[in-house]
A and B are shown apart, each in its own frame.
Chain A
Amino acid sequence: MPTTLADFLLQQQDALMEAWEAEVRAMPAAQALSRLALRDGLPRLLEVVATLMRERPRGRVVSGMGPIPDLHALERLGEGFNLRQVVTEYRLLRGCVLRLWTSRAQAAPSPEEERVFHEALDEAMATSVSRYTRARERTLQALDRISTAALGSEDVAGFLPRLLLVLRETVAAVDVAAVLLRDGDMLRVESVVGEGLEPGARVPVGEGFTGTIAASRQPLLVHEAGTDAHVAERTLREAGLRALYGVPLVLDSELLGVALMGSRASSELSEEDLLLFRAMAARATALLSQAQAHARERQARAEAEASLARLRESEAGLRRWEEVFTRLGVGVAVMSADDNVLLDVNPAFARMHGYTPEELKGRPLEDTFAPEARGALPRHVAAAHSKLSHEYESLHLRKDGSRFPAFSHETAFRDASGRVVQRVATVLDITQRRAVEVDRQRLLAAIEAERARLASVLDQMPAGVFIAEAPGGRLLMTNRQVEEITGQPFQASSPLEDYTRSSPEVLHPDGRPYAPEERPLMRSVLHGEVVRGEELLLPRADGQRLTVLVSSAPIRDRDGAIVAAVATMVDVTERRRAQEAALQAALFGERLIAIVSHDLRNPLNAIQLSATQLLHSEVLAERERRLVTRLARSADRMRRMISELLDFTRGRLGGGIPIQRVAGDVRAVVRQGVEELEAAWPERSLRVQVGPGRYEGQWDADRLLQVVSNLGGNALQYGPPELPVTFRLSDAGDAVVLEVHNGGEPIPPEMLPRLFDPFRRGTSAGHAGGAGAGLGLGLYIVEQVVKGHGGRIEAQSAAEAGTTFRVTLPRAPPD
């Protein structure tokens, strides 16, 4: 048996601790602790107390306890013991020691030993309480700051950096602090203060320092992070850290992440700092969890709101469709696929059939069809089923028995297996459309009739006719003559370009080919040009080249827009040939005129001049003088004949005898003519009667002299020598009238109408004999001269009145 309390404490340590443990376990805070954790530093404490008791009085109780009570207080603070429980532990230990000592030793300890024992326990208790209180105060302050820091931000990203800042400010030795959050099998650096870790860096759970803490869910402390085997993370190894401490962040057995703190200056971290760090980590865990829960809740709320919004939207959509269904002007019916019963109809469908929607629901679709149209219904149903959608027209039946044509579009709806479950039909009453269609047909028939009439009219036309539509020039219609002229069969309605391409040799009169758009019809179609009588050369199928005159004009609608163009084509090949021949004849005539007027007159003039000169000679005998006189008279006759022939030729070929009007007095012309006639007919009596009035005007005096001379010559020639020839002038306002009268035998009536024809001669040779006879062109030339002046000439002849030629001459040329 031990003799001293000190020996007893050392020898009965296990028994003491077991007895103590049995009593301490009654405290709730102690129940969760392992034996080792529960006993903590207390066995060592008992050894120290025993040593102090033996060393008495040399030993100093107050300073001899070492760090044990301090550490124990921090442990207990970390394990959640309250101050009373910490004190109760020491009280129970004291009670156990004393009770067992009394029961086993059977003797009281020495007073000195007992005093030291109590003093040591009191001192340990005081130290622990003090330490506990101080540490708890600091922890509480730090946690308070953490809570304050967390208050401002609900999200993890916001509050973690503040938490770490608080940590570094609270624990002086800490240079680096970081929080890593778990993301599946990885840990991701979420937030860092100080240098050594990169935000966003990832570490697998189970690897390295951080991964080990996460996998074991136990705190881990290393003293030289740069060399310690636990620290595999390169960044941590190279961060220049010595002490490195990490704790898992665990809430309700779920690992949220790992918190780290490290020191560059020190390889040690005080127990209090570690405790504080653990406390802060625990609090951070709660806040983290809370923040994550917040985030999840926010997300869930957002999702809920979104889905609610979708729901609302879809409800609105549904209402909208209902609205459409109800208000649609087109009839809509929903039918079951198997028995063709109307499941639902909209008001429009019911209305067009003369029912209310309720009356129709549940009835067979067939009821809405006219009996005579029901036979086709199965076919339409089958088509809608097989094609998914089917359109058809049929005759529907109203409630009152009347019928109406309808256009239906049916769509089949299928379930997931592809079976048709129902069909929807939209139905349109097409009564109006049918009526319009009938009208249209009638109109078309009318147009066709018009067209046929137009075609037959066109076929009767002597010209070829083309009608082409704008804007492309498609040929709408041609007539028979086109084919006859061109010798080419037509395909009506072929574009004009096709037609023109099929006859590419259409040419200008000078031989240049026509471009397709240059042709008259196309010019009218394209530009609205009106073409009048354009001449072009057209090859016939038989190789002949025709000359045609083409005219064309646009056809415009009420607004003036060109809708078509029409062209006519006349074959003028023959006409052109005749004109060409006439031109050649005219040219020949011109040459004849030149020959007659110039080449013949020169020798004639030479004969005349020479004969006259000879007559003036005094050496001629009487016989020779008669011969030369005959020569001169014949030359004179020849001169007159040439002159008449020239005038006739000019009149025939040159478009009439040329008239050159000069202002003058017709009385002077008449007097000159009469004087010349008197000289030629010295034995005859000529009278001039001039009525009152004006006789000025615009005329060709030389030509009028010819008129006076010819008419007077005729009158002298055909009138009896004993009767005078009378020239009578009278003013007729805008004209002057000249009458030449002779008595004697009248002109036979049958001759009167052809009096002015060329190459006519009187039946009697007249009194001048053959010597005065010309070519019978005199009256013809007179008429030509009068006509050239815009005047007229008439002849009257009767037995009693004699013969009168009456010439009416306008004073001025006609406008």
Chain B
Amino acid sequence: MLPQQLANGLLLGATYALFALGFTLMFGVLRVINLTYGFYFTLGAFLALWLTRAGVGLVLALPAAAVGSGLVAVGIDALLLTRLRRARADELSYLMVTLGAVLALYAGMAALLGPDIRRLPPGTIDEAAILLGPIRVTAAQLLILGACAVLVAALAALLRATRLGLGIRALAENPDAAALMGMATGRMAALVSFLSGALAGAAGVLIGLNFNAIHPYMGESMMLRGFVVVIAGGLGSVAGAIIAGLLLGIIEVLTAGYLSSGLKEAVAFAILVLVLWTRPQGLFGRSAAVRA
């Protein structure tokens, strides 16, 4: 049973990490708690649902849904946050605006589409289990693991090895200095919004595919875990988000499997609190003095 439980934990953790990837990017670079993130996750899943129903294969539907979610993210970002950026509003204003927006977006989607759970058409992905020794996994789960690895590698390469990445890092480090150096920070911020929206959309497709449950509020139910992962991992740290996500998944599964399923969440949150008590900036976060 243990190998299967570890695999369960790893796969659950991968979904958390996948969800948190774009969230931590948005958080870390734009320094904004953007609660609309969960909506792009929902949107990606719905875009893929409509595309696959129209007969488009997953290979095409996945990137298309990601790009679509990214573009919507840029639009919503421009609509909501440009004014706040210009006014140099504080963190809390962003929190509040995006909270209001995301309430309206989820409810609008539910009003338009109905709250029912939908699934991607059968046969979108092979649903048969794959046996790896004592472990059973599905193609969707392997796809999530693979996507996690590929997206992390691509993100790391983008941030570390390209001029664009240098710009993004400069923006994260000090937006004022970046602007003074002649960087088009507005365009750069839009780009980051696009990237994180697209990552959210891709995560929505893959997680919707795995759990077979696509509904307007699906992003909302991931948000709390997303917060935990991003903050336990350290704001803006891609590696931190991945490790925190995987750990959270494994801890939850092992608690449920060997301790008590009723305590699954309690143990996960207790560990979160303990982590913060001992490392106030998360596992991989930088101290406030450096960021200030």
The judgment on whether A and B are partners is no
